[in-house]
Amino acid sequence: MHELTLPVIQAQSVIEAAKSYPELKIMAGFSRRFDASYRDAATKVLDQGAIGSPFMVRSQTCDLLDTTGFFVNDPVPKACWGVGTLQHHPELAASSDVDNAVGIVEFWGGKLAYFHCSRTQAHGHDVSTEVTGTDGKISVNLVPRLNNVVLADKRGMTHEVQPEYWQRFEDAFATEANEFVDAILHDKPVPLPMETGQKVMLIARALQDALWTGEVSRFDEAGTRIAESKANGHA
């Protein structure tokens, strides 16, 4: 969904249009859900209860907003706050953008998420996730690696990192495409309905607004954005 449009209202129009063609298969694409490591972690968290009840996610960027729902059972956002900085690319100020940002999301029911987005990782592509539960913690890719090769020399022990997003999730893209085709050929439900993408967009938009305004973006218990005047207690 986030690949198709930026405004949330346009995403809703795509969803409504899709309802007119129930015989067609349409899917939101979030590559992390098709990555073997993330799927293994999700199995341990959701199916095996390996860390008890998950309540906090620390991760990166928009796909990982989706991963929060993946790991903590699609929570409803309550409040979003974001802050950013320009350290390497001051030209982004002209677009009201930043090169590094942090966002915090509080969900109804007490669950939390912390997101970090960076355009300045000198060592290569670096996406990691930590999920904390009542009985433990699970992590994915905390130390990014290109492969299992480690070089030991006078500098110490070193390994290479995937240079770009595509190398890290190459297999996930193939799995995603295969499962979408399988849903079409065998008339199965798609792995990710478009509504999933819209929910992620709502949170991402709230974080962006919080970054721009310096104010907390709030939602009611149904997951609907609350207008600033109402959120601040004004009529």
Confidence at residue 60, expressed as pLDDT on a 0 to 100 scale: 79
- Three-state SS at 113: strand
Note whether residue 6 is domain-resident.
no
CA pair distance 63, 48, nearest whole angstrom: 24
Note whether residue 67 is domain-resident.
yes
List the structure tokens of 191. 């792995």
Mean pLDDT of the residues in the chain:
87
CATH of the domain at 57: 3.30.360.10
Note whether residue 180 is domain-resident.
no
Note whether residue 107 is domain-resident.
yes
Confidence at residue 137, expressed as pLDDT on a 0 to 100 scale: 97
Note whether residue 24 is domain-resident.
no
Note whether residue 5 is domain-resident.
no
List the structure tokens of 186. 């065998």
CA pair distance 39, 106, nearest whole angstrom: 24
pLDDT for 148-158, tens place per residue? 899 999 999 99
Does residue 235 surpass a pLDDT of 50? no
Please, are residues 127 and 62 in contact by the beta-carbon 8 Å criterion?
Answer: no
Note whether residue 97 is domain-resident.
yes
Note whether residue 132 is domain-resident.
yes
Domain count, the chain: 1
**Residue 44 belongs to domain spanning:** 31-175+199-221
